[in-house]
Amino acid sequence: MERMPDIAVVNVAGDLDVTSVGALRRTIDALITDGCRRIVLNMDDVGFADSAGLGLVLTELRRMRSLGGLLSLTNVRPRVYMSLALMRIVDYMPVSRAGSKRTVSELDPSVLPLWRTTFPVDAVHLGEARDHVGELMRGMPFSEDEIFDMTLACGEALGNAVDHTCARGVLATVTAYDDRIEVDVADCGEGFELGADEEPPDTGPGAERGRGIRLMRLLTDAVSIKRKPSGKGTVVRLVKLVPVREKIGVVGGAGA
């Protein structure tokens, strides 16, 4: 299990059935009691889910919703997804199938944004910065669950920038395009770079940052981490694609 202060990824081992729900329930309940408000169940190893397993998912989903949190399933295999669909669970929570992550293509340089806004961030106002990103996203066709995940990912990026680099020199830039929203978090630290396919470090000084990077990758569609093209510092870019159910028509209200 991978854990940050308010986010946890729980790897579900084996079938989700009457023999395993008790242990999983205890794990989830302990996380919730401890203050965790975003739990991802990694279903990569689950080949079967019975009524007891599906009932557990529904019960814990309702509990998380009542507390203002979110439970989701990722890497769901086809047979398990069919069971979730028959029970209509997929209508009420984020469920991603195994191998279903969308490919994020590079934008053509000639594509102009719908809008862009930049604002400074410091340690005292991290919460307000996360909320501001959520407010901006509500002008686009994202669900509340998608906004929830993006604001958590932004919180990781902003927290790392403020905590590990320069508390007074962090800038957040939110840019909207027809098919995506991008959030750039720029700091004035020593600079850090990680390729899109590179795994973050598991040990050493970068391990704490590495856990945050894994979670940002889980909660968004793409993460890039590059040194600034000029001067000291790092730019972390988080991308959330507009769901395929619709595209943006008219978006208003964000300042330049």
pLDDT tens profile 29-77: 999 999 999 999 999 999 999 999 999 999 999 999 999 999 999 999 9
pLDDT digits (tens, 9 = 90+) for 115-164: 999 999 988 888 899 999 999 999 999 999 999 999 989 998 998 888 77
Between 45-49, 174-178, 243-247, 251-255, the lowest mean confidence (pLDDT) is in 251-255
Give me the numbers of helices (H) and strands (E) for the chain, helices first please: 6, 10
User: Looking at the DSSP assignment, which residues form a beta bridge with residue 173?
Assistant: 118, 184
Q: What percent of the chain has pLDDT over 70?
A: 86
Determine the Cα–Cα distance for residues 41 and 31; give it in Å rounded to an integer.
12
pLDDT band at 180 (very low <50, low <70, confident <90, very high): very high
Domain boundaries, given as residue ranges, for the chain? 2-97, 115-241
pLDDT at residue 252, as a whole number: 41
Backbone angles phi, psi at 221, to 5 degrees: -90, -20
The CATH H-level (homologous superfamily) assignment of domain 2-97 is STAS domain (3.30.750.24)
Contact call for residues 71 and 57 (beta carbons, < 8 A)? yes
Between the alpha carbon of residue 129 and those of residues 38, 119, 173, 195, 197, the distances in Å are 19, 8, 11, 26, 28
pLDDT band at 181 (very low <50, low <70, confident <90, very high): very high
Determine the Cα–Cα distance for residues 27 and 21; give it in Å rounded to an integer.
10
Determine the Cα–Cα distance for residues 49 and 4; give it in Å rounded to an integer.
27
The CATH H-level (homologous superfamily) assignment of domain 115-241 is Histidine kinase-like ATPase, C-terminal domain (3.30.565.10)
Judge whether 2-97 and 115-241 match in fold: no
What mean pLDDT is predicted for residues 187-194?
81
More confident residue, 4 or 124: 124
